[in-house]
Chains A and B, each alone.
Chain A
Amino acid sequence: MTAPTTGRALHAEWIKITTLRSTWLTACAAVAATLAFALIGYHATAHDWPKWTPGERASYDPVRAGYAGTFDLAVLALGTLGVLTASSEYGTGLIRTTFTATPRRAHVVTAKILVVGGLTLALGEAMAFTVFEVGQHLIASTGKQVTLTHPHVARAVVGSGWFLASSSLTGLGLGFVIRRTAGAVAAFLGLYFVARLLLGALGDTVAKASLPLVFQSISGINSPPPGRVLPSVPVAFAILAGYVVLSVGAAFVAVRRRDA
């Protein structure tokens, strides 16, 4: 007899996430809303371009423009999806069935990480590339459009999709640790939207570790405007990885230590 592989746990988790209509509703809503806002934004920029001042035109970041603000919606949706993947099992009690079927709990956590991470990475990259390609086409008249071969562009596009998947995994970890959907979603929102304000009170260096500034650094191709404190790109990726590792690491500890 061989040990139940993580492959089996993975298959089980894949069936779980794909047999819930809410997964597809969340994904579709995230994609539709993000694309709509991003593309309307690009269209408006192209339309209003003649009225822009030279300074505004010079500081325009054609890649970041598609993600700023709009991807907050996607972070919200996919982060919640990550939270729910864990917390809904605790809420319904299904987690006990899951751990009875797969007593090696780390296998369950790993399987969820791979399934949620894989799904949200695919969605995130699809959104990032779609926003980029269609957006650049929409702003052709401004002369500011770029291609993936321009410096930093590929990193900003791929990194933006990566950021969404990382947000979702951070949510997943919180779901395992906090267990209750409402509390875990609140914690996730706090981490993403509120922490920046709190960290800001501790000074610019600490504020750089907040997720919105990390995302700003990853998703832009221009140098930050003077006076704007952003983490450098490598530091931003490292901080992002730190959030995921801490959250998911806490999940592994929590499932091992606590009764189901």
Chain B
Amino acid sequence: MTIEACELTKRFGGAVAVDALSFTVRPGRVTGFLGPNGAGKSTTMRMILGLDAPDAGAAFVDGRPYGELQHPLREVGALLDANAVHPARSALAHLRVLAASNGLGTARIGEVLARTGLTEVARRRVGGFSLGMKQRLGLAAALLGDPPVLILDEPVNGLDPEGVHWMRGLLKELAAEGRTVFVSSHLLTEMALTADHLVIIGRGRLVAESSTAEFLAANSRTDVLVRASDPTALAAALRTATVSVEPDGALIVAGLEPAAIGDTAAAHGIGVHELTVRRASLEEAYLQATEGVVDFRDDQNRAGYPTGHLTEHPAEHLTEEGNHQR
């Protein structure tokens, strides 16, 4: 079963939340739905589930609008908001309600409670649950109808490291069972570990749709930072590479291996003080993709992103791979 979005558009007041968004989510793999907060991920998921009516376009599950599904919980399991439970109801009662609404046997309730590790707390009121436990309950609800399609909005939110690990394993397991698994996240690092395929959106528009490996390869960037006794002479010597000079005299060399740079410097009698391989972080690639950031040094409007503090020096965005000095 596939999920298809065709030119989905949603406006809230004057603002366009989702803008002619089209993509296809296929079975048997985890598809990450990636974008910064406010990019329109949740709105898109709500439109797929028939909760929000699109202003234009349409979404289909297995070729049909969600509202036409005969037994929706047997076809699509959704987790949109883990807090969307009545706090005074027990986990068991919550699942009993959902099972009854779709004519699912009560036997499944025990199974999903066990699979999500909630068996022991099933009779406790949900109001006393941690966010992590609520995420597990939301997942239990999504799995209740043993659906071939799963739509999960930020399912690792609120999970402890062990829970995150468990969730990753579960998502891969579900995809390996042949299900269509569509998971949103604002963290590329998380998706890089879980998703086989990525649908990336920014400001409601499709930015990229490709396999995770292809996206990372296309968007990552490796260069070498070199500090030398005579930067100008070294820059001249490194004719085969692309070299730029930093304000403090450091050279940024792209297209040459560190060993080659070191050998060239040695051949010209130039002292090398520092030689550092820098790899563009996944988050940086993602920010570039979603924000359309072309200038690597443009640090405007980046506050609040999960890469943490960003300063004017581009090296801050990069992961150091160790020093090679000679």
Q: Which residues of A contact B (CB under 8 A)?
A: 1-4, 8-9, 11-12, 15-16, 19-22, 88-89, 92-94, 96-104, 259-260
Contact = CB atoms under 8 A, between A and B. Distances in A.
Contacts of B83: 92-93
A103 B101 contact: no
A57 to B, nearest CB: 49
Nearest to B101: A12
B88 A97 contact: no
A9 B101 CA distance: 5
B78 interface: yes
A65 B298 CA distance: 79
B324 interface: no
Q: Which of A2, A88, A92 has the most CB of B within 10 A?
A: A92
A104 B71 CA distance: 11
Contact of A101 (B52, B67, B73, B93): B73
B66 interface: yes
Contact of A102 (B80, B87, B93, B101): B101
Given A1-B70, A103-B67, A96 B46 contact: yes
B81 A15 contact: no
A8 B100 contact: yes
Interface in B82-105: 83-90, 93, 96-98, 100-103
Contacts of A3: 70
A96 B42 CA distance: 12
Interface residues of B, number: 34
Contacts of A8: 100-103
The 10 A-B pairs of least Cβ separation, nearest first, read A93-B84, A12-B101, A19-B93, A1-B70, A259-B52, A11-B100, A103-B67, A12-B100, A260-B51, A101-B101
Contact of B98 (A88, A101, A259, A260): A101
17 contacts: A4-B102, A12-B100, A19-B96, A20-B86, A20-B89, A92-B87, A94-B85, A97-B84, A98-B101, A99-B50, A99-B51, A100-B73, A101-B73, A104-B67, A259-B53, A260-B46, A260-B51
B88 A21 contact: yes
A256 to B, nearest CB: 10
B69 interface: yes
Contacts of B51: 96, 99-100, 259-260
B64 to A, nearest CB: 11
B73 to A, nearest CB: 6
Nearest to A260: B51
A92 B84 contact: yes
B141 interface: yes
A251 to B, nearest CB: 17
B140 interface: no
Nearest to B84: A93
Contact of B71 (A1, A15, A97): A1
